[in-house]
């Protein structure tokens, strides 16, 4: 945990990198900005795009980053949805801290979004529907990171990314994709028996199936508020702070 201050909250996605400035309560201090994610983005490409994104932004004291991959202590181990094999053991949190000269907390993108939307009461699951399938699990507002269902088999032929990701929506069409989502939501309900489920991401608007009363739709703009909540977390469960090297 750190002292209050303005936070640069960044959400790295497969199609866009987005950002805004928050106060320590998660309230927006400027309009949401986004720039396209480079195709087959390498680490250097993402750093360059973040530099473009933050240009001319108001002052901030620290940085939160949600990244689409497996992240531990600011190190990226996988990033399948960025389409580049170079994302292995990349100390991206440290590189962003050095680039922008501010302390950084880097977590999985669904984990950051989940922090921004949950009520903080009970057993809550947040999922994102987009290029891939993101998942975040929280108990009484405390994040349990690294719930990577995306690459777990959901059929004999497909993992969750392949089954309900954007490519599946485009290939199978909205009606069949919604039938798949109905099956997936049934699985999540059975496996997790959650108090509340939150659904976001670019494809959430494509849902046409009936949803239970304890299922809520959220926007990425809601979720990016998790960039403030991330700084309320203690350095534990592989969440840590990268400080710029002097």
**pTM recorded for the entire structure:** 0.91
Predicted local distance difference test score (pLDDT) of residue 62: 98
Q: How far is 1 from 235, CA to CA, in rounded Å?
A: 7
DSSP 204: G
Query: Is 13 in the same domain as 101?
Result: yes
225 and 9 in contact (C-beta within 8 Å)?
yes
Query: Is 100 in the same domain as 139?
Result: no
157-208 confidence digits (pLDDT tens): 999 999 999 999 999 999 999 999 999 999 999 999 999 999 999 899 999 9
Q: How far is 52 from 151, CA to CA, in rounded Å?
A: 31
Query: Is 208 in the same domain as 227?
Result: no
Query: Is 107 in the same domain as 72?
Result: yes
Residue 243 is assigned to a structural domain of this protein: no
78-131 confidence digits (pLDDT tens): 898 888 899 999 999 999 999 999 999 999 999 999 999 999 999 999 999 988
Q: How far is 85 from 159, CA to CA, in rounded Å?
A: 19
Query: Is 59 in the same domain as 136?
Result: no
Query: Is 107 in the same domain as 123?
Result: no
Residue 188 is assigned to a structural domain of this protein: yes
Mean pLDDT (the chain) is: 93
Task: Write out the two tokens for 9.
Answer: 């909250």
Q: Domain containing 130: what range?
A: 119-219
Predicted local distance difference test score (pLDDT) of residue 1: 47
Q: Residue 238 above 80 pLDDT?
A: no
Query: Is 52 in the same domain as 129?
Result: no
Residue 88 is assigned to a structural domain of this protein: yes
Q: How far is 217 from 111, CA to CA, in rounded Å?
A: 16
200 and 118 in contact (C-beta within 8 Å)?
no
- CATH code of the domain in which 46 resides: 3.30.420.40
Query: Is 36 in the same domain as 93?
Result: yes
Query: Is 11 in the same domain as 100?
Result: yes
Using pLDDT thresholds of 50, 70 and 90, give the confidence band for residue 36: very high
Query: Is 86 in the same domain as 130?
Result: no
Domain count, the chain: 2
Using pLDDT thresholds of 50, 70 and 90, give the confidence band for residue 4: low
Exposure pattern of 52-78 as b/e (b: 16+ CB <10 Å)?
Answer: ebbeeeeebbbbbbbbbbbbbbbbbeb
The Cβ-side half-sphere exposure at 124, using a 13 Å CA radius, reads: 25
Residue 246 is assigned to a structural domain of this protein: no
Q: How far is 28 from 120, CA to CA, in rounded Å?
A: 20
Query: Is 92 in the same domain as 69?
Result: yes
CA-to-CA separations, 108 to 55, 200, 208, 228, in angstroms, rounded: 24, 15, 28, 15
Query: Is 99 in the same domain as 124?
Result: no
- Mapped to the 3 state alphabet, what secondary structure does 86-144 carry? CCCCECHHHHHHHHHCCCEEEEEHHHHHHHHHCCCCCEEEEEEECCCEEEEEEECCEEE
The closest of 147, 103, 141, 155 to 128, measured between CA atoms, is: 147
Question: Cα 147 from chain centroid?
Answer: 12
Residue 239 is assigned to a structural domain of this protein: no
């Amino acid at each position: 945990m750190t002292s209050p201050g303005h936070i640069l909250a960044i959400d790295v996605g497969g199609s866009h990198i987005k950002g805004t400035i928050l106060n320590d309560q998660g309230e927006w201090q400027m309009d949401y900005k986004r720039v396209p994610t480079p195709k087959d983005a390498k680490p250097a490409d993402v750093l360059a795009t973040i530099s473009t994104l933050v240009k001319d932004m108001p002052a901030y004291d620290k940085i939160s980053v949600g990244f689409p991959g497996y992240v531990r202590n600011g190190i990226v181990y996988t990033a399948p949805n960025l389409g580049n094999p170079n994302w292995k053991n990349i100390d991206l949190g440290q590189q962003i801290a050095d680039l922008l000269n501010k302390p950084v907390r880097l977590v999985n993108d669904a984990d950051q979004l989940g922090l921004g939307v949950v009520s903080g009461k009970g057993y809550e699951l947040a999922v994102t529907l987009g290029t891939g399938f993101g998942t975040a699990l929280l108990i009484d507002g405390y994040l349990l990171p690294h719930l990577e269902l995306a690459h777990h088999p959901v059929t004999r032929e497909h993992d969750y990314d392949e089954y309900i990701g954007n490519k599946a929506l485009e290939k199978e069409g909205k009606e069949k994709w919604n039938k798949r989502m109905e099956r997936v939501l049934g699985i999540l309900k059975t496996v997790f028996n959650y108090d509340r489920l939150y659904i976001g991401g670019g494809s959430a608007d494509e849902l046409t199936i009936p949803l239970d009363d304890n299922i809520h739709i959220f926007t990425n703009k809601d979720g990016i508020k998790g960039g403030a909540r991330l700084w309320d977390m203690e350095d534990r469960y592989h969440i840590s702070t990268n400080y710029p090297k002097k």
